[in-house]
Amino acid sequence: MKIIECVPNFSEGKNENTFAAIKLALEKTGGVKLLNLEPDADYNRVVVTMAGDENGILEGAVNACKAAAENIDMTTHKGEHPRLGAIDVVPFVPVKNSTMEDCIKIAEKFGERISKELGVPVYLYEEAARKPERKSLSDIRKGEYEGLEEKLKDPEWAPDYGEAKFNPKLGAIVTGARFFLIAYNVNIKSTDVNIAKEIAEILRESGRAKR
């Protein structure tokens, strides 16, 4: 059996009702298991990790996102983390007996479905990207939610799925396929934010010291 992981990031880090709705949606979905739900109040963001077979992971991702969409309103969202929408990013990751191509196909199915069911523009990134300038999540996120309405007017940023129409409540969704991602926070004994940015630029894979 093919096992695939999905790690959606939602723009809500405080509301327990939202977390409960996401958990319940996954509990009701066969073929998928919730592995972790980690909220961050400062970022006002929650990272959900689930794994399942091909059909289960697709249905789980759709159901979790629909549950989140009912409970999140981007018109009032404030947080420290860059974001493009209520359902900010939904990556699919090959785990066991699965390939990157499998994950790309699932991301495409997810993007097509969720754009129709929620009425949101969807962009494909990383291995699923159809344009080089959309491979990097940070490039797609430029301007963030606050600049999305204007961004959608640019034909160069027409979504891969859905209409180029601004959804004030939900913003836009980025989905795709990638390998495992390791992320961690480091406390620095300084009030100079430029030092932190310099270190991050050196260490991050997307920074200048890519190896």
- Calculate helix-pair angle for 16-27, 54-71, nearest 10 degrees: 150
Q: What is the 3-state secondary structure (H, E, C) of 148-192?
A: HHHHCCCHHHCCCECCCCCCCCCECEEEEECCCCCCCCCCCCCCC
CA distances to 2, 106, 109, 201 from 31, rounded to whole Å, are 11, 14, 17, 39
**Lookup result for tokens 């939900």:** 170
Q: What is the amino acid identity at position 100?
A: M
> Which bin fits 162, alpha (ψ -120 to 50), beta or left (φ > 0)?
left
Catalytic residue among 2, 23, 81, 169: 81
Q: Note the maximum CA span of the chain.
A: 50
Which alpha helices (DSSP H) does the chain contain, by range? 16-27, 54-71, 100-118, 137-141, 148-151, 193-203
Which residues lie closer than 8 Å to 32 by C-beta, 6 or more apart? 26, 50, 51, 52, 53, 56, 57, 59, 60
Question: Is residue 77 flagged as an active site residue?
Answer: no
Catalytic residues: 81
